[in-house]
Structure 1
Amino acid sequence: MKLVLITGASSGIGQALAARFYQAGYRLALVARRTGDIASWAQTQGFAAERVGVYAADVRQPDSIIAAARDCIAKQGVPDVVIANAGISVGIDTAEYEDLEVMRATFETNNLGVAATFHPFVKPMRERRSGTLVGIASVAAIRGLPGHGAYCASKAAVVSYCESLRGECRPFGVKVVTVVPGYVATPLTAGNTYPMPFLMTPDEFADRAFAAIEAGASYRVIPWQMGVVAKLLRLLPNALFDRVLAGRGRKKRQGEA
């Protein structure tokens, strides 16, 4: 029975992906800071205890996630799929000193956390000559949005990092998949005050992401309509792009109502 490891599995996209992979017959290795929430949720779902491992880790702390990964390998084996899903999204204003710390936390979670999650599995997967590493990016990676500088920059970095890693792992039979969600109705988007076209439920997203991962797609925007919109925005000259975004609501800063 195949094994998938998912970070940020206590809510939102991570939780929906866990349910979808379980439905497909996978064993689960679920990683989050709130392990009690994961265990309670898995029990509520009726998941067989022998198919679910729960591990506590903070992806901002490399030693923490690496220890959880090694614990997983010792107890459940090397996963077939590793999904670096844990991420945060908080608005910033560069004029505010305290928001520099928010930017640091965003990059530690969304970028260092991805690399630290993959790190313990790269060598074992290369030696086995099989496995799939999945980075969860965002359409926010395509262009910078007002108030969203930290998140947009971090997700653009996820895209580039996974592209680099894909080239490094390809000769060893290890796949690297970049999944690029549009707007998904999760706690990360609940406070957004601006329009969110093609908003999806976590379950809808998980179904499409599962298909992309199983197919070994190198890069997949979900839903595809959001990919078209994002690419059109990428092609817009800066002057026109700035006009389109004029008056658009900013991402809320930490602590803003």
Structure 2
Amino acid sequence: MDRLVFITGASSGIGQALAWRYHQAGWRLALSARRAADITQWAQAQGIPAERFRVYGADVAQTDSIVAAGRACIDAQGVPDVVIANAGISVGVDTGMREDLDVIARIYATNNVGLAATFHPFIDAMVRRGSGTLVGIASVAGIRGLPGHAAYCSSKAAVISYCESLRGEMRSHGVRVVTIAPGYVDTPLTQRNRYGMPFLMKAPRFADAAFRTIAAGRSYRVIPWQMGIVAKLLRVLPDALFDKAMAGQPRKHRETR
């Protein structure tokens, strides 16, 4: 069976690594990002045959843009077997700064509304077919709120809750919903971080673990597994101890710095 995967944020980082992993497994690729030319250049440099991939330029923060990309994918390549809503942004914010309120709005537009808009064009078609997998890329940062990370942490917490809700809605229709919460993955998104990143993974290793998780149809997984243990500990840590542990920790960089 010639399977098809649709991936957003495919121009770099996790999205690009996932695209390569699926290509290695023999899947056709539907790849979307704002920098569509970068995806095409990368795919050609990797020697991916032109008939095995298509690129759809879209900005997930613009609902009509990513919905149109999804519909174009269905028209050109058919209904995907797997849709991975990977596109996201991570930047620190300071609620006391007026300009950061606009940053918060953009993070939510990308990480939350954009995720739902990515899934939207495919849901009815998957329900009619009675099969398909929708994958939301969350983060261990969604487990607890970290100082300086308020927008990103809350957006990823929302991804976890949203996908859990959607999983319940889709279950009776044969459509799976998978939530993957990466720990620290070595990508352009994390390379500017000012703090230690335990259990840092290379993107290809993460992509392989994610590929196997999606294929198994698991509902939720933290990758790597070590960060899964950390996440469970953070979830049960009393507030007083959590606050003490976070005191004095470096904050994530703001967009203007």
User: Shorter-chain TM-score: what band?
Assistant: over 0.9
Q: What is the distance in 2 between the residues matched to 1:241 and 1:187?
A: 28
Q: What is the distance in 2 between the residues matched to 1:69 and 1:235?
A: 39
Q: Give the secondary-structure state (helix, strand or coil) at the position aligned to 1:248.
A: coil
Q: What is the distance in 2 between the residues matched to 1:202 and 1:160?
A: 25
1:60-75 → structure 2 map (5 Å cutoff) = 60-75=61-76
Question: 1:49-82 CA deviation, whole Å, 9 max, x = no partner?
Answer: 1010100100011110111111110000000000
Structure 2: which amino acid aligns with 1:163?
A: E
Q: What is the distance in 2 between the residues matched to 1:68 and 1:55?
A: 6
Aligned to 1:160: 161
Q: Percent identity?
A: 69
Deviation of the 1:170 alpha carbon: 0.5
Q: Give the secondary-structure state (helix, strand or coil) at the position aligned to 2:186.
A: coil
Aligned to 2:118: 117
Aligned to 2:102: 101
Aligned to 1:142: 143
Q: Unaligned regions of 5+ residues in structure 2, if any?
A: none
Q: Does 1:179 align with 2:180?
A: yes
Question: 1:82-132 CA deviation, whole Å, 9 max, x = no partner?
Answer: 000000001000010100000000000000000000000000000000000
Deviation of the 1:255 alpha carbon: 2.2
Q: What is the distance in 1 between the residues matched to 2:175 and 2:235?
A: 30
Q: Unaligned regions of 5+ residues in structure 1, if any?
A: none
Aligned to 1:240: 241
Q: Which moved more, 1:231-240 or 1:20-29?
A: 231-240
Structure 2: which amino acid aligns with 1:3?
A: L
Q: What is the distance in 1 between the residues matched to 2:121 and 2:40?
A: 24
Q: What is the distance in 2 between the residues matched to 1:130 and 1:164?
A: 18
Q: Does 1:48 align with 2:49?
A: yes
Q: Give the secondary-structure state (helix, strand or coil) at the position aligned to 1:28.
A: strand
Aligned to 2:216: 215
Aligned to 2:19: 18
Aligned to 2:10: 9
Q: Where in structure 1 do 4 or more consecutive aligned residues deviate above 6 Å?
A: none
Q: Which moved more, 1:100-109 or 1:232-241?
A: 232-241
Q: What is the distance in 2 between the residues matched to 1:47 and 1:255?
A: 38
What is the TM-score of this pair, normalised by structure 1?
0.99
Q: Give the secondary-structure state (helix, strand or coil) at the position aligned to 1:168.
A: helix
Deviation of the 1:245 alpha carbon: 1.0
Aligned CA-pair RMSD = 0.5
What is the TM-score of this pair, normalised by structure 2?
0.99
